[in-house]
A and B are shown apart, each in its own frame.
Chain A
Amino acid sequence: MKAFQYAAPRREGEVVELLADHAGQTAILAGGTDLVPLMKKMIVTPDRVVSINHVDSLRGITADSSGVRIGAATTLDDVLDSPQLRDHTAIADAIRGISSPQLQAQGSLGGELLQRPRCWFFRNGYGLMAESGRLAAEGDNRFHAIFGNAGPAKFVCASRVAPALIALGARVRLVGPGSEDESDMPLEFVYRTPRDAHQHETVLLPNQLLTHVFVPAVSEWSSATYEVRHGAGPDYPLAAAAVALRIAGGMIEDARVVLGQVAPTPWTSHVAARELLGRPANADTAQAAGEAAVSEATPLANNRYKVQLAQVAVQRAVLLAAGLETGGF
């Protein structure tokens, strides 16, 4: 690890100031499960690490009639165990999928959402765009993107909770770049597919901090996440889908379908959602949604298999959200 300064601010404004006066050469530390290994491998080499673990306002879960507000430094196990989020099934499914109690107890929600991609070219020091996509295009790309991969970015967004939160309509609160600046946007808009090596995989500025996630009330919605994994271990899934449904009288009135591990961002599938609208919540509909979700996939040389896995993930997530199946994998 490169030597760095460590700061332990107590207030959000202080975090932003500490990030700003070292512009770009900083890292935000929450659980450390992603950042510390990246620093050990010198893939991330900040001059200053700003811990957000001592800022009380960034931790905890509060709820009112409009929804649930989660501090970014709240640990994943606290989110999983929270009674306020008992009806947000897709979130619990995704966190349960992470399966390692250490990752759940140590990892924060904000860190889970903003963790760096697992792309092995990136993790081995070739950079996120790996020579503008050539390495991932011509090399072993079995775990890479099957959507949104026309440009140099071939990696997949690593977050496992983001598809669930996006399907449930989550928004995020940001502070920075100025110490008084504050903004609010749908979580979906945080992610982007970088077009060149200067772009990051999120729109966050280096001195901007994601402080809270707001999940709207889900009274009429049911939801689920389904991950296709190689085994029952703690590895990242090969494909995943989160589905939120509003069902009345056995008919699907509204639907959101978001795939994970298939594109440089969480991948909202409007075609799959359209397939579900106005149809009965049953196995045929689930299958049609799965087929629609992958109809526009553009797999690379070694990851054609992921197309079927993504299809199954959507199909099973629809069945789970509709209560036609009861979990397991």
Chain B
Amino acid sequence: MKDRSNPTRPGSGFHRRDFLRGSGAAAAATALGTAPTAEAAENASRLYGPGLTKIKLRVNGGERELEVEPRMTLLEALRYGLNLTGAKPVSSDGSSGGSTVLVDGKPVSASTTLALDVVDKDIRTVEGLGEDDAVVQAFVHNDGLQCGFCTPGFVVAVRAFLDKNPSATEEQIRAGLNGNICRCGTYANVIQAALEVVKGGSRG
């Protein structure tokens, strides 16, 4: 496996997101600065919130510190706390698979997972797979995307499925991607991409 040392910011140069964020940054900083940090631990079973709590998340091999409310989902923590915007908010109830990330190697919907509940887990996002991951490469070769919104979820779901079933058949791949929805309908190319990884055997 290649070195994937904490690639939290893929690419470089100008980002639309940085530009948009710039104007709101001052206001956000003020809001965060004045919020209370409630870490009162009643008895041994740690009790948090309902206000902000400082936590550490192990994401893509690195440890990242951020403040969350208990109601913050892992998806919100990744996107708005850690600027990892690969996983997408699509269905809000997990049915789209757009927010799929790996938690301890398993595919999980970040939008139905609370950030506080995975502080001791190993989290891997699509950014953590990196551009040279065989699945990412296969999506490029096979044009496995149209509008691209479902793509990060699909890439992670394919990676998780092939990690568990490295020699899957087409039928198994179809069944194994049942947790992801593409409204453009580019399933055929996604499945071709997954099949290419199976046949190529070069599993990132």
Contact = CB atoms under 8 A, between A and B. Distances in A.
Contact of B94 (A4, A5, A8, A33): A33
Contact of B175 (A33, A51, A99, A106): A99
A5 B48 CA distance: 6
Given A37-B92, A99-B178, A6 B47 contact: yes
Please classify how large the interface on chain B is, using the bins under 10, 10 to 19, 20 to 34, 35 or more. Answer: 35 or more
B179 A100 contact: yes
Contacts of A7: 45-48
Given A101-B179, A106-B112, A36 B73 contact: yes
B108 to A, nearest CB: 5
Interface residues of A, number: 38
Interface in A1-42: 1-11, 14, 17-18, 29, 31-33, 36-37, 39-40
A4 B175 contact: no
Given A105-B107, A106-B109, A6 B45 contact: no
A32 B97 contact: no
B44 interface: yes
A3 B51 CA distance: 8
B172 to A, nearest CB: 11
A5 B50 contact: yes
Interface string A221-252: 00000000000111000000000000000000
Contacts of A77: 106
B107 A6 contact: no
A8 B179 contact: no
A102 B109 contact: yes
A69 to B, nearest CB: 23
Contacts of B114: 6, 29, 32, 36, 49, 51
Nearest to A102: B179
A3 B69 contact: yes
Interface in B78-113: 92-95, 97, 100, 106-109, 111-113
Contacts, number: 116
A128 to B, nearest CB: 18
Most buried by B among A10, A33, A36: A36
Interface string A49-79: 1010110000000000000000000010100
B71 A8 contact: no
B155 interface: no
Interface string A85-104: 00000000000000111110
A293 to B, nearest CB: 28
Given A1-B71, A3-B50, A10-B45, A103 B179 contact: yes
Nearest to A75: B106
Contacts of A49: 70, 114
B129 interface: no
B50 A102 contact: no
Nearest to B99: A102
B157 A102 contact: yes
A146 B71 CA distance: 37
A51 B107 contact: no
Contacts of A18: 45, 47
Contacts of B69: 3
Interface of B: 43-51, 69-71, 73, 92-95, 97, 100, 106-109, 111-114, 116-117, 120, 157, 160-161, 174-179
Given A1-B71, A32-B114, A32-B117, 5 more contacts: A4-B50, A7-B46, A37-B92, A99-B175, A232-B178
Ranked nearest first, the 5 interchain pairs of A and B with the lowest CB-CB distance are A100-B179, A6-B70, A9-B45, A37-B93, A3-B50
22 contacts: A2-B71, A5-B48, A6-B114, A7-B48, A18-B47, A32-B112, A32-B113, A36-B111, A36-B113, A37-B94, A37-B112, A75-B106, A99-B178, A101-B161, A101-B176, A101-B179, A102-B107, A102-B108, A105-B106, A232-B175, A233-B178, A234-B178
